[in-house]
Structures are given as C-alpha cells and as structure tokens.
C-alpha cells in the first residue's frame, strides 16, 4: 500500500447524522444515520471508489468530505489539514484544493450564467491567479475538456448533456485542486456519452496527477475507473480492497450479491451458477438496528450477526471486510457451502 | 461478409463539428414570448396610456381637480366638461387625470414594499431553514390571519393618511403571499447542485442568496409583483372610498366614495372613476399573465 | 421448418410530429415481429424513438402534435393503427399492457394499490367488487409482495420503489395480456432490486407465456433478459438480431459502439485499462431527422459519401440478423 506521505485524503470515523422532523408532537425525534463511522484513505494520484445502493451513504460521505453537509463527528484530513474542523475564512481558503463534479448536468449549472462565467467563477471567488490572466485560463480550461473557447458565451441550456458535464469538469479543474470528488459523474448521461466523459476524466488524471473520490452505483464504471474501492451499506463500509481483489475475490456477502445482481453482457458472469439474490429492499437508514446492518437481508446470517456489530478487519494485504462469517483464512460464506 | 469491422478505437471524428454559437440574452427571449401574447401587449399599451396620462395629463389639462368649476352634477359634455361634474361641481376629467397619479404611485410603492418584505422574509426562511424559518413563518402566519383591509385601515388611521403611510399600510398587509412563494422557490433551488457548486467554491451565503438563487427564483416573483400592483391599486381605491386617502391628492377611490350618495342623480360621477380603476387593474393583470407565460421555461421551449 | 406467426407485427411504421419549423419523422420505416413467449429488447440512446415505439403500439402517441403517419401494427393479425378508439381501449391494459420507468408517478397516490389493480379487472372483465379484490390479492401474491392481504389496503406512498414497480407489474398482468411492454422498468431502482424485478418478469413469463417488449439503454439488461434485440437510432432500426449474435458479432457501427462504449462488469478485471471506445457527438435533434442519408453518418468513423446521401436499406447478413448499413455491401463486394 502507499506510504503515509502519499496519502492525500484521510477520513477517520466520519459520522453524518440528520435529525428528522418529528412526525407529530409526541413522537420521538428520529435520526438518519446517513454515514456512521467511516474510515478510509485515498493515495495521491489514485481513484478511490465508493459504491453502494441508495441510502448507503456514499454521496453523503462525498458531500461531507467537500464540507457541503454538516459533519456530526470524525475527521477529514486533506493533506495535513483537518478540513472537518475548519470554519469561515480558513475553510474558504482550503476549498480551492478540493472540488466536486455533480451527477446531474441539468441542475449543476446555473441556468442564468454563461458557461465562461461558470468556469471563471471559482477563480474569482477563491482568488486564484492574477485577475488579468483569468480570461486566458478559462479559454485554456475549455480546450482541456474538449470544448471550443467560443462556446464560453453560451448559456447552459444551449449545450448537450455531455457538453454540460464538460463545463462542470472545467469548473472543477479551474482552481487546480488536488482532490476532485466525482459524484456519479456519468449516471445521468446517455450510454454513448459516458465513454467520452470517463475517458476525459482518466486523461485529465494522467495529465495533472489528480486524485479522484469517485462515487457510483454502476459497478462496471467503478471497475473501470477506480484503483481502490470501498463498498458501503447503510452508512458503513462493509468491504474495502484494491480493484483486482475486490472483483475477483469479493468477501462480503453484500458485495457478492451486488456483483451477482448486475445484468451483464459478459457470459462468464451471466452463466455463473453461484449468483445470489437478495430479498427485499435496502432497509431505511433511520435508527438502524444493532449488529450487522446487512443481517436482515443476508442469506447466510446467523444469530450473532444481528447481535454483534462486525468490525472492519484486514484479511490480507489491503483487503478488509466487516463480516463475522468470513473466516480468518479469507474464505467468504458464499464459498463455504 | 466474414471480415467484421473492428470495433476498437476507430479514428474518431472530433467533437461538435459545426456548432453555431447562437446567443440570445434571456430577457430578449422573454420579450419575444411576451410580444407574441396579444392580450399582454394590449395590457402593456393600456398601462402606457394610463402612465402617460398621469405624467403628461396635468400639463396638457391644467385644472385643479378640487376647484368648483360648474354647476354640481352636470352630465358629461356640459360646457366642455367632457366627463361632467360631481356633486360639488368639480371637473371629473381633472379628477380622473390627477387621481391616476395617486393610484399609480400607491400601486407601485405598495407593490414594491410587498415584494421587498416578501422576498426578504421568504429568502431568509427558505435558505437558512431551522429556527429562522420557524420564526419568520410564524410571523407570516400572524399577518396572514389578520383581516387585511381592517389592518390597513387601522394603520392609516393611526398615522395621518398620506401617500407614504397608505403605501406602507398596503405593503404591510399584503406581503405574506409573496413571502410564501419566495420561500417555496428558495427551498426548491437551494437543493439544486449548482447551489452546492457555489458553496464548494467558497461563495458566501449572501452571494448565494442574492446572486445565485434569487435570479433563478425571479420569474414567479416578477409575476407575483405584477399582480401585487393590481391588488395594491384595489386596496388604495378601497381605502380612499372610506375616505382614508391623502386629502390633498385626488384619488379615484375617493371620487367613487364621495359621490356614492348621489349615484342615482349623477351616475357618471362614480362610473368613470370605476372604469378607470377597472382598466388599470386589467392592464396590470394582463401584463402579469403575459409575464407568467413568457417566463415559464416549459412554454418557452415550444 | 414451420414458422409460428408473430403475436405482434410492426411493419413500416412511421410517426410524425408537427414542430414549429415543419414536420419531424421521429419514427421511420420501423418493422419488427414479436413472437409468442419471446422477449424482444429495444435498445438505443434517449431520443432514438424507443419509447415512442411503445406509445405507438399502445396508440398513446400524443395527438396533436404527433400522429401515426403510416405503416401497420398488427396484434394477432388485427391492425391497431386502423382500430376504433373503443377497440383500442379494450386492448389497452387487457391484451397489451405497459409498465413505465417511474414507479413513483405512474401510480395514482389517492387510491389504494388494491383499488388500482381491481379497477383494471373490473373494467375489462366486469368482475364484482369482491372478486376483483380477490384477484388483486392474488396478483400481489404473484409478484411476491409479502402479506398481500394487508398490502392491498395500502397507498402507493407507503411502498418502496421496488414494491411499487411490483404493483405496476401486477396491474399490467392482471388481465393476462398477450403483450407486455416494459419501458425502462428498472432504471429508477437499485441494482439488487432490479435483479429481483427481472427474476419476477422471467418467472411470470414462463407461467403466462406473455410476450415482452423490453425497452432499455443497457446492453447488460438485454443480455440477461431478451432473446432478440432491435437497435434503434434516430427513429430507425439499424440492426435486428438474436441477442448472442448481436453481442458477439455486431455489424452496425452504432451497435458496435453501444456495446463497446460502456465499461461492462468483467468477471476477471484486467490490470490494463485501455481507453473506452467513444461514439463522438450527440444524437441528432428531432428537427434534423429525415434529411436523407444514414442518420448515424455524422457520428460514424467509417462513414462514406454514400452514407451521407442515401439511407441504407436493411439487409440480411445471417438468419434472423438484419443490418441497415452500407458497409455490409462493401464487405460483400470485397
């Protein structure tokens, strides 16, 4: 694994809880445990993937790293600075080192602002570079993401979905950040456009040594894009591994179920006899039960699963899993039958 | 037919071959939509005529509306008094011309106050949520349950009735609807990703509220402002009818109110100011409707 | 070889929309057959006309501005394009039914799910209230909703997204339709729930022999669910083939692109990750349709002069495999 000094982002015991409005006067206030004790580190220049279904907390984790939601507890270090603890002007100054690309290219650009000004805005707001050089920089950013500098004068609605996402990427690149959070950057795009954006993101990473925190529910995209991956379920990381070992030797039953569920054009996956099916929907993250949160849907669950919370333990080099049923030898329950 | 075309990495033609950058400012687009709407254009022309009358009328027809110029209750056309005279023998045409000033000034000022209070309260409540919203919305509800005309009367009576106090009174009783609308818009837009984007580049709250969200919330608020003008004009007429008007400035509502006891002898003295109020409110409403369509992005795409 | 007759046969279908600047042909020259018990996938990007095809079969094309401008849609021989409105209402929900992408908005929030299922049967089969309710419970059980006796009394907002889509399927299947059209039925759902819905559709198809038209943008879904696939681009059919044939041996550059441009989940990922193949540019807008020539030519890396001038006709390259591309002629000539 990467040495300590190569770590760009370190998230320690991150918790984000939302209190829900009381339904009526005498009901107890309930808490949504959107993110509940998450730890991970992202090496510089790598792509770290967070996958999971809706309610898994992957997007909330990303927004917490960006300081766009209130952090209930825990630390987020960008380099040596605990950005989780910054406020006001200090936080504003750190923001130029981390930027975000959003999912929906239709709601992520202000419809009343021209594309050029959208890209220029971070330069002005965060006072990046000389004022005089900013126009030139915007033109350069447009070229970098495959847009023509003349298109700066257009309004967002005059672009296609893929082009809008390019504008969003240009804005994220403007302040030359170290970390870019990609929150489902292609899931709102047409299939044929996704490749354009994914190729662009990889090319930019190579060119500028960017570090991505990549959020997606699409395992194919994650498998292609990410170097390290954490699988989240109901606000917690259940498995964490590098790309090759996660997909070839998934340990957690949930990871396995997720992989089984993906409809695949690859006959090798489709014809696997050991695919498992989950029943029911992911439970709600409001006041989650004790023990393993996956126990209610896990086909292998035993009685201790709903009583004791499994800790994330490292089975082998860089591959960690939070499941009681995975043997210390690294044999997952789905292989023990 | 055996040699299949290799799918991997063909020499891809470059992106967007001939994109024609056609740039039209949003307000120009709005105007084009608005101009297509005949009723709205008619409203605009009508309002221009009324505004023109208020601005130029006194110069072109210099007559004091309070002067007794002829026999009371002379019918329209008598001795060159096109609209006749009222129960005291005052020139009705002069009254209509001078009265348009009070009507328009109060209408515009009261609508402005309505919009300013409404947007301020709605924006802060919708953006900050939490206790700010709770407090502001309770205040809004408090104002909402008071009978507006009664409250306005009390306010005007407490202070002496001048154009300023009347405008403030009307504004104070009618901002609640705008506040609720503004709050709803802010609640919706604050969750959009471009607002998160603005926060992620360190934009301050004030910038996000006024420069990011407000312009995007503007269309329904502009429409509501247009209708607020109409409502304010009706309020002003109502207050003047009850003789809660500025005694030094002629007003259409006052003309109707003061001539009301003699309506059977001189119908014209209440009818013409009534028509004037009707036409003004109609003009403003047509404009509001036109703006509503022109600013609606879904209709604009057609 | 005896060929069974198709349950649904679309021939030379054309759909037009009146636009501000003229008429747009959003579907042109579309032909395909659906065999009994078959699942046919229709795949393409948004705006390729796949949803409009579904609406045409249901005769739900918004009129005006749209109209079915030509062609035939035959359900067991009966031409739906020419059928009366009364007949179409009998067919909808009864012989052909449809499930939509968004389970949140396709159920009426003010009625219980039981009432909504029961309404369909009461309308088409004239069952009594009690019998219709029993049928609703039976259908909820069939789509594997736990405790159907209780669920029948619930309102849509009390159900999860997956449950709602199950209810939609139950509604669509209550009258045992001969054709079920599923328009991106799982796009709004999580992947584990999607897998459940697909299992359910497969099981129900086994039992009822309902033929399914599955509309999707996901080649993986096609591979899992369909036997045959129609690839559409800009309102035209560009390729029509058995699924395995298309996945292994796609002939049209657009089909090749659609398969290659998505990072598919691989059982054993490779260390090397070559750049994905891109389909450059975007789908033509509606007003650009029907300009002559192959609509894909502007985005096609292998386009020739001929492609820009003439629309290629469909040609058969293998049994049951049709492609509309001039390159086929080229390779044949070579």
Min Cα separation A191/chain C (Å): 7
DSSP helix/strand/coil, A6: helix
The Cα A130–Cα C42 span in angstroms is 53
In a domain, B285, yes or no: yes
Chain B residues with CB inside 8 Å of A121's CB? 198, 201, 203
DSSP string for residues in A180-196: EEEESTTTTS-HHHHHH
Chain A residues with CB inside 8 Å of C241's CB? none
Place of tokens 């109209």: C67
The Cα C240–Cα C317 span in angstroms is 10
Chain A contact probe: residue of C242, C261, C283, C285 with most A CBs at under 10 A:
C261
| 8-state DSSP, B178 | H
What is the reported pLDDT for A188? 87
pLDDT (tens digit per residue) in A232-260: 999 999 999 999 999 998 999 999 999 98
Does residue C99 surpass a pLDDT of 50? Answer: yes
Q: Does C161 sit within 8 Å of A261, measured CB to CB?
A: no
Q: What number is the average pLDDT over the span A122-149?
A: 89
Q: Does C265 sit within 8 Å of A219, measured CB to CB?
A: yes
Min Cα separation B24/chain A (Å): 9
Per-residue buried b or exposed e for B215-230, using 16+ beta carbons within 10 Å of the residue's own CB: ebbbbbbbbbbbbbbb
The domain containing residue B43 runs over which residues? 33-300
If we measure between CA atoms, which residue out of C247, C272, C252 comes closest to residue C262?
C247
Query: What is the domain count for chain B?
Result: 1
C259, C298, C331 ranked by CB distance to B17: nearest: C298
What is the reported pLDDT for C121? 81
Chain B residues with CB inside 8 Å of C256's CB? 5, 7
Question: Of the ranges A30-34, A122-126, A264-268, which is most confident?
Answer: A122-126
In a domain, B4, yes or no: no
Greatest Cα-to-Cα distance within chain B, rounded to the nearest angstrom: 107
Least confident of B25-39, B170-184, C41-55, C278-292: C278-292
C70: β partners: C14
Neighbours of chain B (3+ CB pairs under 8 A): A, C
Does residue B111 surpass a pLDDT of 60? Answer: yes
> Measuring CA to CA, how many Å separate B270 from each of A46, B81, B246, B254, B257?
81, 16, 19, 10, 8
On whether the CB atoms of residues C265 and A195 are closer than 8 A, the answer is no
What is the reported pLDDT for A21? 64
The Cα C143–Cα C146 span in angstroms is 9
pLDDT (tens digit per residue) in C130-165: 888 888 898 888 888 888 888 888 888 888 878 888
Torsions phi, psi for A205 (to 5 deg): -60, -45
What is the reported pLDDT for B2? 37
Does residue A283 surpass a pLDDT of 60? Answer: yes
Question: Is the preceding peptide bond at C64 cis, omega within 30 degrees of 0?
Answer: yes
In a domain, B19, yes or no: no
What is the reported pLDDT for B1? 35
What is the reported pLDDT for A22? 56
What CATH number is given to the structural domain containing B216? 1.10.3720.10
DSSP helix/strand/coil, C8: strand
Domain boundaries, chain A: 1-19+32-233, 248-337
Tokens of B164: 């300023």
- The contacts of residue C209 (CB under 8 Å, 6+ apart) are C36, C37
Does residue B44 surpass a pLDDT of 90? Answer: yes
If we measure between CA atoms, which residue out of C218, C265, B191 comes closest to residue A51?
C265
If we measure between CA atoms, which residue out of C161, C194, C192, C269 comes closest to residue A233?
C192
pLDDT (tens digit per residue) in B273-290: 889 989 999 999 899 888
- The contacts of residue B258 (CB under 8 Å, 6+ apart) are B86, B87, B243
The Cα A81–Cα A85 span in angstroms is 9
The Cα C134–Cα C114 span in angstroms is 9
Q: How far apart are the first and last CA of chain B?
A: 46
Helix (H), strand (E) at residue B47:
helix B38-60
In a domain, B290, yes or no: yes
CATH code linked to domain A1-19+32-233: 3.40.50.300
pTM, two decimal places: 0.84
Residue A248 neighbours by CB distance under 10 Å: 12
In a domain, B12, yes or no: no
Higher-pLDDT residue of A208, B66: A208
pLDDT (tens digit per residue) in B150-193: 888 888 888 888 888 889 999 999 999 999 999 999 999 998 88
C11: β partners: C72
Tokens of C171: 């509604």
């Amino acid at each position: 694994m990467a040495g300590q000094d190569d770590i760009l982002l370190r998230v320690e015991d991150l918790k984000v809880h939302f209190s829900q409005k009381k339904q009526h006067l005498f009901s107890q206030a309930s808490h949504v445990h959107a993110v509940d004790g998450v730890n991970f580190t992202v090496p510089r220049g790598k792509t770290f993937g967070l996958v999971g279904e809706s309610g898994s907390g992957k997007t909330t984790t990303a927004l917490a790293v960006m300081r766009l939601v209130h952090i209930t507890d825990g630390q987020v270090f960008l380099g040596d600075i605990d950005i989780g603890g910054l406020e006001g002007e200090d936080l504003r100054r750190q923001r130029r080192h981390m930027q975000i690309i959003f999912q929906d290219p239709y709601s992520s650009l202000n419809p009343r602002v021209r594309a050029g000004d959208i890209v220029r805005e971070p330069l002005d707001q965060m006072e990046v570079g000389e004022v005089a050089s900013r126009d030139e920089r915007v033109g350069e950013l447009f070229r970098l993401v495959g847009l023509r500098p003349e298109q700066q004068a257009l309004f967002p609605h005059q672009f296609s979905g893929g082009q809008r996402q390019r504008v969003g990427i240009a804005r994220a690149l403007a302040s030359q950040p170290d970390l870019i959070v990609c929150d489902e950057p292609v899931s709102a795009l047409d299939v044929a456009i996704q490749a354009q954006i994914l190729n662009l993101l990889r090319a930019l990473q190579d060119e500028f040594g960017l570090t991505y925190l990549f959020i997606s529910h699409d395992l194919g995209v994650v498998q292609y894009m990410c170097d390290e991956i954490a699988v989240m379920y109901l606000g917690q990381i259940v498995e964490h591994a590098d790309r090759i070992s996660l997909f070839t030797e998934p340990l957690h039953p949930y990871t396995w179920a997720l992989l089984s569920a993906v409809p695949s054009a690859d006959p090798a996956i489709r014809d696997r006899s050991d695919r498992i099916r989950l029943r029911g929907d992911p439970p709600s993250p409001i006041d989650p039960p004790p023990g393993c949160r996956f126990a209610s849907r896990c086909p292998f669950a035993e009685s201790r699963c709903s009583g004791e919370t499994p800790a994330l333990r490292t089975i082998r080099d860089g591959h960690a899993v939070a499941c009681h049923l995975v043997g210390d030898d690294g044999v997952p329950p789905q292989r023990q039958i | 037919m055996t040699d299949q075309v290799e799918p991997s990495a063909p020499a891809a033609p470059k992106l967007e071959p001939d994109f024609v950058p056609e740039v039209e400012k949003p307000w120009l687009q709005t105007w084009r939509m608005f101009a297509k709407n005949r009723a709205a254009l008619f409203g605009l022309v009508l309002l221009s005529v009324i505004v023109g009358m208020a601005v130029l009328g006194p110069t072109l027809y210099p007559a004091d509306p309070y002067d007794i110029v002829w026999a009371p209750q002379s019918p329209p056309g008598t001795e060159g008094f096109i609209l006749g005279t009222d129960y005291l023998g005052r020139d009705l045409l002069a009254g209509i011309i001078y009265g348009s000033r009070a009507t328009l000034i109060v209408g515009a000022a009261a609508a402005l106050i309505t919009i300013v209070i409404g947007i301020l309260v709605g924006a802060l409540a919708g953006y900050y949520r939490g206790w700010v919203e709770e407090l502001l919305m309770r205040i809004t509800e408090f104002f909402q349950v008071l009978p507006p005309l009664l409250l306005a009367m009390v306010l005007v009576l407490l202070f002496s009735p001048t154009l300023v106090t009347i405008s403030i009174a009307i504004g104070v009783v009618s901002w609640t609807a705008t506040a609720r609308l503004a709050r709803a818009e802010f609640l919706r837009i604050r969750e959009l990703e471009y607002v998160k984007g603005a926060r992620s580049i360190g934009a301050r709250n004030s910038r996000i509220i006024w420069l990011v969200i407000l312009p995007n919330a503007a269309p329904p608020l502009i429409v509501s402002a247009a209708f607020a003008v109409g409502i304010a004009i009706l309020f002003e007429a109502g207050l003047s009818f009850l003789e809660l008007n500025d005694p030094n400035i002629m007003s259409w509502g006052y003309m109707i109110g003061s001539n009301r006891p003699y309506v059977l002898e001189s119908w014209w003295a209440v009818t013409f100011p009534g028509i004037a109020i009707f036409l003004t409110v109609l003009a403003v409403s047509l404009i509001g409707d036109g703006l509503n369509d022109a600013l609606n992005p879904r209709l604009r795409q057609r | 070889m005896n060929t069974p007759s198709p349950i649904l046969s679309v021939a030379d279908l054309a759909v037009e929309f009146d636009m501000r600047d003229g008429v747009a042909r959003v579907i042109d020259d579309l032909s395909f057959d659906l065999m009994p018990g078959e699942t046919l996938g229709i795949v393409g990007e948004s705006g390729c006309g796949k949803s409009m095809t579904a609406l045409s079969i249901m005769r739900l094309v918004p009129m005006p501005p749209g109209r079915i401008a030509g062609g035939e849609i035959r359900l067991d021989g009966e031409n739906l394009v020419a059928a009366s409105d009364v007949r179409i209402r009998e067919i909808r929900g009864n012989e052909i039914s449809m499930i939509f992408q968004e389970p949140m908005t396709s159920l009426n929030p003010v009625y219980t799910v039981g009432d909504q299922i029961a309404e369909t049967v009461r309308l088409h089969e004239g069952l009594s209230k009690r019998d219709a309710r029993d049928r609703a419970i039976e259908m909820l059980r069939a789509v594997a909703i736990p405790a159907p006796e209780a669920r029948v009394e619930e309102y849509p907002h009390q159900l999860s997204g997956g449950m709602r889509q199950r209810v939609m399927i139950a509604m669509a299947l209550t009258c045992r339709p001969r054709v079920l059209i599923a328009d991106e039925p799982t796009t709004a759902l999580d992947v584990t729930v999607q897998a459940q819905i697909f299992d359910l559709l497969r099981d129900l198809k086994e039992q009822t022999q309902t033929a399914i038209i599955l509309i999707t943008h996901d080649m993986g879904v096609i591979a899992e669910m369909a036997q045959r696939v129609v690839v559409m681009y800009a309102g035209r059919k560009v390729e029509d083939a058995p699924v395995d044939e298309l996945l292994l041996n796609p002939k049209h550059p657009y089909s090749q692109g659609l398969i290659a441009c998505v990072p598919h989940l691989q059982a054993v990922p490779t260390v090397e990750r070559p750049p994905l193949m891109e389909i450059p540019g975007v789908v033509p807008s509606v007003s650009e349709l029907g300009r002559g020539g192959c609509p894909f030519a502007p985005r096609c890396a292998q386009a020739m002069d001929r492609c820009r001038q003439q629309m290629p006709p469909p040609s058969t390259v293998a049994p049951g495999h049709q492609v509309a591309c001039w390159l086929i002629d080229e390779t044949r000539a070579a």
